[in-house]
Structure 1
Amino acid sequence: MEIIQIVGIGLIATILTLVIREQKPIFAFVLAAFTGIYLFLFLIGKIDAVMKVLENLANRSGIPSVYMSTILKIIGIAYIAEFGAQIVRDAGQDSIASKIEFAGKVLILVMAVPIISIIVETVLNLLPAGG
């Protein structure tokens, strides 16, 4: 089971980080950061498989691919921003981590505007004209 590998790597890295932190704090941070990056890369294959299934479903349902592509990009932005913010927070830089999270939210909003526009236009077209 992959979760056992992930938890095992996390526990080993945590123990090593705690031991190293006393002598070399910078090495402890580097170890923690590389562990996070390794785990992220480990999961990219899983994320890719989910993306392909969702794209296949969108194609079969007749949803234009631009919408599904945009939604997947939004999800990607959210995960990457959160991951980056956590690494920066681990380094003790909460202020910078907050800025990364804010930037992620702004980019998500920018990506969502075309979808929101289409939803509003669709609702307006469903409403009866003039009162």
Structure 2
Amino acid sequence: MDIIKIAALGLAGTLLGIMLKGQKKEYELFISMGACLCIFYFIVTKLEIVLSVINQMQNYVKIDAGYVGLLFKMIGITYIAEFSANLCKDAGYQAVAGQIEMFGKLSILAISMPVLLVLLETVGEFLT
């Protein structure tokens, strides 16, 4: 039950941060970042399982390896942008967090353009 470990880690980090908030504000930020990094490590281990299943699905259904690579990049961009934006929000830098989120969204849009073009070509072939 990894969720229990993650919940306990998150709650412990939050409570410790609240206790230190009154004494040393900078320690609260370090505790928060440390807890986030530990939880992010657990996320990465679960992400490895998802990626291996996607690779197995690629063996069953013939999908171009380039598209699977694009999917992996999109997943990576999403997680990294969300993680870093949340850290910035926690530190009180909402404007920076918003810019990170915007850049992540635009990066995913830029990466997905080749897939969108192929989709439009396929739809165009069916219509003609």
List alignment gaps of at least 5 residues for structure 2: none
What residue in structure 2 maps to residue 19 of structure 1? 19
**How many equivalent residue pairs?**
128
What residue in structure 2 maps to residue 3 of structure 1? 3
Q: RMSD in angstroms over aligned alpha carbons?
A: 0.9
Shift of 1:25: 0.6
Taking structure 1 as the reference length, the TM-score comes to 0.94
Greater mean alpha carbon deviation, residues 68-77 or residues 24-33: 68-77
Kept after mapping to 2: 8 A contact 1:70/1:112: yes
What residue in structure 2 maps to residue 31 of structure 1? 31
List alignment gaps of at least 5 residues for structure 1: none
Kept after mapping to 2: 8 A contact 1:59/1:65: no
> Aligned letter for 1:86?
N
What residue in structure 2 maps to residue 75 of structure 1? 75
Q: Distance in 2 between matches of 1:119 and 1:59?
A: 21
Taking structure 2 as the reference length, the TM-score comes to 0.96
Greater mean alpha carbon deviation, residues 100-109 or residues 61-70: 61-70
Structure 2 residue matching 1:9: 3-state secondary structure: helix
> Aligned letter for 1:5?
K
Match status 1:112 vs 2:112: yes
Q: Distance in 2 between matches of 1:59 and 1:125?
A: 26
> Aligned letter for 1:102?
M
Greater mean alpha carbon deviation, residues 15-24 or residues 70-79: 70-79
